[in-house]
């Protein structure tokens, strides 16, 4: 999910994202912060597009869950711009052959309910992820060449993790994990559906206070947090599905922070009431072909649709301007290791598109296109796509869906309710994280594409320790993805965060992909 951050909504940008673990500094911002003006107290109101899908971090893949989880649960460590910072952990020591890692926790850690946080919780968390009955999407990151890692408690603060073979990607997997409390979840047959998730007990700088579905989530400062205490008294995450209403609320001071779509950038800027921070999102906006549908199994059909679209025009429709996004070629984002820039592309060519459709025997094609109805960008791009495909003889039925419905359908491995959709993800610097989307049996494989050769490349790359050989494997993965085009990269976008000028500490908090800021403890009311 961060150059290491997340990600995943899953990776559907409309639905949310996975976390990786490193982050990049803001590319541009307006205004500055003055820590000398910081004071304790106040409530920050953050707009979120929808209800969080979960409060349990081992299932969090959507933007809302990840953002709120950032306040409630602390990770073992983070990696930002290549620099590792320990949080719950005090150290992580690999063996010389990279097949064993020794993790040592800080002493004196506690959960929000006062219970001690120990090695038992870390072992329980990792074993729960590995338990196939608990179906956490993180599982694929801890299974190497078909074999799971082994997790052992050495003492109250020390955990040993034994890998079935050396792996250069292991720290990139572990950085995404925030432990969950064993004393809360032990014995739960299905933790994802457990009622205990409704009142989360975390380890982070804020603790859960209240949740009203469709309205808000409130977290309050954890005064017993081991690290720097939050300056704010509380954060309210307000569900604001209508972006126009959210912008009006931002102008009126009823909302203090929100992600801004490119179409609304100037509108927010012109009010003069908000600081605007813009930086590379670390994400990839995509078009996803549902290969559960027979016609979408034909590569010529997928390539024809790609040729029917002028990518720069599509970006302008979705992002207002190429100032807010650049055309994408690789399934990897620019901040991912081994991203390949020179790949097969599909230039806008209607004649070629028609020829490919004829070759595929797909004359008079009719397709169903699903999109997230709360996203202006997706709505605009869907209309553009409908028109461009009509020009090559393809009829498109547009299916607008709310986030929950679209997410549920996308996660259904037998999904046949639509043929095509937009997607997106922000996976970070470690390419192994992309397995959660692209392996044939991956939970977030929204294209439902299965190819044994493709899977073998991912599995081999995950355990290859030679940098040159790893690079070659990921090069081949990107080339195969570009050729088969079951997921078509559209754009590498930018994140835009608007923050009420009455709040400071923004640079210290570090703007971050998906979760808005890396450290909300630094934000204060002026």
Q: Are 178 and 218 in a shared domain?
A: no
Integer CA distances (angstroms), 181 to 62, 86, 197, 457, in order? 21, 19, 11, 36
Q: Are 507 and 457 in a shared domain?
A: no
Place of tokens 């202006």: 376
> What is the spatial distance between Cα 365 and Cα 279, in angstroms, rounded to a whole number?
40
CATH number at residue 78: 3.90.76.10
Q: Are 485 and 520 in a shared domain?
A: no
> What is the spatial distance between Cα 217 and Cα 330, in angstroms, rounded to a whole number?
36
Instruction: Evaluate whether residue 56 is within a structural domain.
Output: no
Q: Are 215 and 318 in a shared domain?
A: no
Instruction: Evaluate whether residue 391 is within a structural domain.
Output: yes
pLDDT attached to residue 194: 96
Instruction: Evaluate whether residue 31 is within a structural domain.
Output: no
Instruction: Evaluate whether residue 315 is within a structural domain.
Output: yes
CATH number at residue 321: 3.10.105.10
> What is the spatial distance between Cα 1 and Cα 432, in angstroms, rounded to a whole number?
11
Residue 471: name the closest of 330, 342, 331, 340 by CA. Answer: 340
Instruction: Evaluate whether residue 24 is within a structural domain.
Output: no
Q: Are 451 and 518 in a shared domain?
A: no
> What is the spatial distance between Cα 124 and Cα 407, in angstroms, rounded to a whole number?
28
b/e burial code for range 173-196 (CB count within 10 A of at least 16 → b) = bbbbbbbbbbebbeeeeebeeeee
Bridge-based pairing of strands 234-239 and 43-48 is: parallel
Residue 120: name the closest of 185, 211, 168 by CA. Answer: 185
Q: Are 451 and 507 in a shared domain?
A: no
> What is the spatial distance between Cα 122 and Cα 102, in angstroms, rounded to a whole number?
12
Residue 420: name the closest of 307, 284, 305 by CA. Answer: 305
Domain count within the chain: 3
pLDDT in tens, the chain (526 residues): 333 333 343 333 333 333 333 333 344 444 444 444 577 899 999 999 999 999 999 999 888 999 999 999 999 999 877 789 999 999 999 999 999 999 999 999 999 999 999 999 999 999 999 999 998 988 988 998 889 999 999 999 999 999 999 988 899 899 999 999 999 999 999 999 999 999 999 999 999 999 999 999 999 999 999 999 999 999 999 999 998 999 999 999 999 999 999 989 999 999 999 999 999 988 999 999 999 999 999 999 999 999 999 999 999 999 988 889 999 999 999 989 999 999 999 999 999 999 999 999 998 999 999 999 988 889 999 999 999 999 999 999 999 999 889 988 998 999 999 999 999 998 888 899 899 899 998 888 999 999 999 999 999 998 898 999 999 999 999 999 999 999 999 999 999 999 999 999 999 999 988 899 999 999 999 9
> What is the spatial distance between Cα 236 and Cα 273, in angstroms, rounded to a whole number?
20
Residue 175: name the closest of 378, 456, 432, 366 by CA. Answer: 432
Place of tokens 């292991």: 170
Q: Are 149 and 99 in a shared domain?
A: yes
Q: Are 375 and 488 in a shared domain?
A: yes
Q: Are 221 and 335 in a shared domain?
A: no
Instruction: Evaluate whether residue 469 is within a structural domain.
Output: yes
Q: Are 116 and 234 in a shared domain?
A: no
Can you give the residue range of the structural domain that contains 221?
204-256+502-525
Can you name the residues that pair with 36 across neighbouring β-strands?
A: none
Q: Are 512 and 481 in a shared domain?
A: no
Instruction: Evaluate whether residue 119 is within a structural domain.
Output: yes
Phi, psi for residue 525 in degrees, rounded to 5? -90, 130
CATH number at residue 519: 3.40.190.10
Q: Which residues contact 212 (CB under 8 A, 6 or more apart)?
A: none
Q: Are 462 and 512 in a shared domain?
A: no
Q: Model pTM?
A: 0.81
Instruction: Evaluate whether residue 32 is within a structural domain.
Output: no
Which ranges in 131-230 belong to alpha helices (H)?
170-174, 182-185
């Amino acid at each position: 999910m961060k150059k290491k951050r997340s990600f995943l909504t899953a990776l559907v940008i409309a639905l949310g994202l996975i976390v990786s673990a490193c982050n990049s500094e803001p590319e541009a911002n307006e205004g500055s912060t003055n820590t000398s003006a910081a004071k304790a107290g106040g409530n920050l109101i953050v707009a979120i597009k929808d209800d969080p899908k979960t409060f349990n971090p081992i299932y969090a893949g959507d933007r809302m869950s990840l953002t709120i989880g950032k306040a409630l649960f602390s990770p073992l460590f983070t990696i930002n711009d290549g620099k590792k910072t320990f949080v719950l952990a005090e150290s992580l020591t690999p063996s010389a052959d990279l097949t064993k890692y020794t993790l040592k926790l800080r002493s004196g850690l506690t959960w929000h309910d006062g219970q001690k946080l120990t090695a038992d919780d870390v072992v329980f968390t990792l074993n729960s992820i590995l338990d196939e009955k608990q179906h956490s999407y993180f599982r694929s990151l801890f299974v190497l060449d078909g074999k799971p890692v082994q997790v052992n408690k050495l003492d109250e603060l020390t955990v040993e993790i034994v890998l079935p073979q050396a792996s250069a990607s292991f720290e990139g997997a572990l950085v995404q994990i925030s432990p969950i409390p064993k004393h809360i979840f032990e014995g739960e047959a299905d933790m994802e559906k457990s009622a205990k998730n409704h009142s989360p007990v975390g380890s982070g700088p804020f603790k859960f206070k209240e949740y009203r579905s469709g309205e808000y989530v409130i977290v309050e400062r954890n005064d017993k947090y081991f690290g720097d205490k939050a300056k704010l008294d509380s954060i309210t995450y307000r569900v604001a599905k209508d972006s126009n209403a959210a912008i009006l609320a931002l102008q009126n001071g009823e909302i203090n922070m929100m992600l801004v779509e490119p179409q609304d950038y100037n509108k927010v800027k012109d009010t003069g009431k908000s600081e605007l921070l813009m930086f590379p999102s670390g994400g990839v906006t995509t078009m996803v072909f549902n290969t559960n549908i027979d016609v979408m199994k034909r590569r010529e059909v997928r390539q024809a649709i790609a040729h029917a679209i002028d990518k720069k025009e599509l970006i302008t429709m979705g992002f207002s301007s190429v100032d807010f996004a650049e055309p994408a070629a690789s399934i990897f984002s620019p901040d991912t290791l081994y991203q390949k820039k020179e790949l097969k592309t599909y230039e806008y060519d209607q004649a070629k598109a028609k020829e490919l459709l004829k070759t595929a025997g797909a004359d008079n094609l009719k397709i169903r296109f699903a999109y997230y109805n709360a996203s202006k960008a997706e709505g605009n791009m869907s209309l553009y796509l409908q028109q461009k495909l009509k020009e090559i003889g393809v009829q498109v039925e547009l299916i607008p869906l709310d986030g929950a419905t679209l997410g549920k359908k996308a996660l259904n491995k037998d999904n046949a309710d639509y043929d095509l959709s937009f997607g997106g993800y922000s996976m970070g610097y470690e390419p192994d994280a992309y397995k959660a989307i692209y392996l044939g049996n991956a939970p977030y494989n929204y294209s439902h594409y299965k190819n044994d050769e493709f899977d073998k490349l991912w599995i081999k790359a995950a355990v290859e320790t030679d940098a040159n050989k790893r690079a070659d494997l990921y090069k081949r993965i990107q080339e195969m993805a570009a050729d088969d085009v079951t997921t078509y990269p559209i754009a590498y976008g930018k994140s835009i965060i608007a923050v009420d000028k009455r709040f400071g500490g923004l640079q210290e908090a570090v703007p971050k992909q998906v979760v808005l800021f890396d450290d909300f403890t630094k934000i204060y009311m002026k």
